[in-house]
Amino acid sequence: MNFVENVKVEKLLINYKTLEEFKRFKEYGNQELSMLEDLQSNIVENDSISPFYGLYYGETLVARMSLYRVDKKYDKYFEPQHEYLELWKLEVLPHYRDKGYGRKLVEYAQGYNLPIKTNPRINSQGFWEKMGFQKAKYEMQRDFGQNPLLWLPEGIKEKSAN
């Protein structure tokens, strides 16, 4: 039995304990992926709405992602215009990579059955393709100088270039 199959995705609280856990990720580099600054700017108290989700191995946070729900009035990606999720950052600590943690987080997001948009990070294109994401076809969909990747549930189509 695969250990990751039994791990549950947890919504991370916006508090100082989570801030300390996030500092472990920053030590491994990839500053672009660091969610530490996002968390610091959002700390209020435990009951704040958190966009952060994570997986633990024992007591250690080993994988995390930021997941934001975007109102359909801002949708420029899908037909019909649709509420969607923006999977902003996903990171797994180096020792825990290639064990299914990233897949588990993405499958959790896909479980909402909403379209998902992400921008691939460092050397991650193959991972996203395995998870069913495809490059946005519509030229106007370039985001932050990158081509976003999209995942579409049944019945939702990407906008065409016409």
Say what the pTM is.
0.76
Give me the pLDDT at residue 14, please. Answer: 67
Give me the pLDDT at residue 99, please. Answer: 93
Give me the pLDDT at residue 46, please. Answer: 46
Give me the pLDDT at residue 31, please. Answer: 47
Say how many residues make up the chain. 162
Give me the pLDDT at residue 144, please. Answer: 54
Give me the pLDDT at residue 17, please. Answer: 72
Give me the pLDDT at residue 1, please. Answer: 42
- Domains assigned to the chain: 3-158 (3.40.630.30)
- Walk along the chain (162 residues) and give the pLDDT tens digit of each residue: 456 777 888 887 766 677 777 777 755 555 444 555 555 555 544 445 678 899 999 888 899 998 988 888 888 888 778 899 999 889 898 899 999 999 999 999 999 999 999 988 777 888 999 999 998 876 555 555 567 899 998 877 777 644
